[in-house]
A and B are shown apart, each in its own frame.
Chain A
Amino acid sequence: MNDLTGGLAEAGRLLFGGNPEVWEIVRLSLRVSLIATTIALFLGLPAGATLALVRFPGRSMAVGAVYAGMGLPPIVAGLLVSLLLWRNGPFGAAGLLYTPAAMILAQALIATPVVAGLTMAAVSALDPRYRLQLLALGAGRLQAVWWLLREARLPLIAAVIAGFGAVISEVGAAMMVGGNIKGETRVLTTATVLEVSRGHFETALALSFVLLGLTYLVTIALTLLQRRADPARS
């Protein structure tokens, strides 16, 4: 109990005690996770919609890959990106390893299957007759897809929340490809791990509280968006 209250107090001190380092970590955490989620959205949404609506050869294999990807252990994603970006690896020349860009890449790799899988489920769950109705009303292919995604907007926002949740809380890949370099690639999760290993439990707890608060705020924002989109409320 002492640890918990101490942690809260420490969190307050860290955030509002004029310590720029913590704010830096928070900023980087948010930036990396939001960019990764956005990339996942741009890739996963069309991929999921396509898998739900288009029948093509190899579709079931693609669906299997997406589902496997949803359960992809972050550490494996981290390893994959490390291997690609390693100095002697195929993209080593870019010198991206141990930069926020590498972390964004790894986290997008984790979140994209989550967004794609949930999008696929959301669009598949729509009454298939909506598609016929759209075509019957004279909608073009893209118009039809757009209207179908609008029909599924509530579960789609849930997909975004799930994708964001997967990356903001992720530690293994961030550690592996970012390296937890102070002032460069240190994020809330990796900083917490470090503080625990140093025995600074109060600081670790404080960072955890900050992480929790951050996740809560972003989720709240998305939930508010979802509620605005909910027809039952207007």
Chain B
Amino acid sequence: MTTPVLRLDAVVVRVNAGSLLDVDHLAVGPGETLALIGPNGAGKTTLLHVAALLRKPDVGTVTILGQTATTHNAATLRRALSVVFQAPLLFDTRVLANAAAGLRFHGRPRIEAETRARTWLERFGVAHLTNRRARTLSGGEAARVALARAFATEPAMLLLDEPFSALDGPTRISVLPALRQRLHETGTAAVLVTHDRDEAFAFADRIAVMEAGRVVACGDALSLIAYPPSHQVALLLGIETILPAQVVCINGEQAVVSLTTCGPSLRTRTPLRATAAPGEMVTVTLPAGAVYVCGPDDVCPPEWNVLPGRVGAVTSLPSGTRLVVETPAPIVAFAPWQPEDRRWLVGDPAIVAFSPESAHVIPERAQLPIPYPSERSELNSSYGRARDGRHHGH
């Protein structure tokens, strides 16, 4: 087994009576990219500062490349990391001196530092700015210089705290792939804090969802979307169809549930790890991309769930069409553009169809907060934590 670049174990950061951060375990392997998403104040930035050894946790250990961080070795271990903050935070000097700063701090001679800095400025397409004063750069240029500066020390891991939040859309679209490519080429691990879901999905191998200081879900993007572990996480991941239901029966892998709002039964096929019993209340989640909308006369696969209804809302997006279909429960569907697409209008009769596999069942028990051992649970009255987090998260 390879040593993870970063490992957090039982890390708690307290503020007053509550805790800002309470992470049982989180690890990032070599070359792996992890995105941290969650609402403001969820503790994303605090987690990043702890991982960057810029903030010492009150409890727990941070391990960088197999070495546990202490007050004494933090400065040394930090050299394996690079941090890019929300603002580019370039120093008031020339671009080249900025890009070379990390290497100079590491004690490299000026010529070597500047040569390597120049290489990285080139790789991020800003070599022509080498002699400019850093303060005269545009937002996009500054972001690229900040990235070049972070890569120049050739860290094992990059920690990125919403580095693109200040950039406009097109600039962001041009910087993000450049970053991904460099990470891939160099095999650098990365943690990206973002509140932009699309950015997280576009960037990371794995996504960690944070809420109120905790990592409430962690996994690859597809399995998180297909099997969100809780209602909360489904909401944070942007799943729009979340329906309350009751288990009717369970046949091996397949569960039949009835929607409590209206009654129709759905067939679902969820690996019910946390098994639900008939009669139990559950939540059904349905990713919009898994839902097909067809005309009343179209034929659907026999195993599928089919709900008739009418189109309630149509939104045209650059990548496709988002439809809300008013079946007994409103169901959101998303279809990528097809040249021969029919144009849906509000009020059109339509049929919503989706496979049993795409409807995921969350047992009600998963909604409850995870029970937590002894003394910590008292400190973490979740209300206080959420409130504190909101003040200190960013």
Contact = CB atoms under 8 A, between A and B. Distances in A.
B348 interface: no
Nearest to A136: B83
A147 B91 contact: yes
B133 interface: yes
Nearest to B146: A133
Contacts of B153: 137-138
B89 A133 contact: yes
A136 B75 contact: no
Interface in B91-149: 91-93, 101-102, 105-106, 133-136, 149
B201 interface: no
Interface in A122-145: 127, 129-130, 132-140, 143
Interface residues of A, number: 20
A232 B137 CA distance: 11
Interface in A148-186: 150-151, 153
B387 interface: no
A153 B87 CA distance: 21
B-side interface size class: 20 to 34
B89 A130 contact: yes
**Chain A contact residues: over half helix, strand or loop, or mixed?**
helix
B325 to A, nearest CB: 47
B89 A127 contact: yes
B54 A138 contact: no
Contact of A139 (B105, B133, B134): B105
A232 B86 CA distance: 24
Contact of A138 (B78, B86, B87, B91): B78
A140 B78 CA distance: 11
A2 interface: no
Nearest to A135: B54
Interface of B: 49, 52, 54, 75, 78-79, 81-83, 85-87, 89, 91-93, 101-102, 105-106, 133-136, 149, 153, 159
Interface of A: 127, 129-130, 132-140, 143, 147, 150-151, 153, 231-232, 234
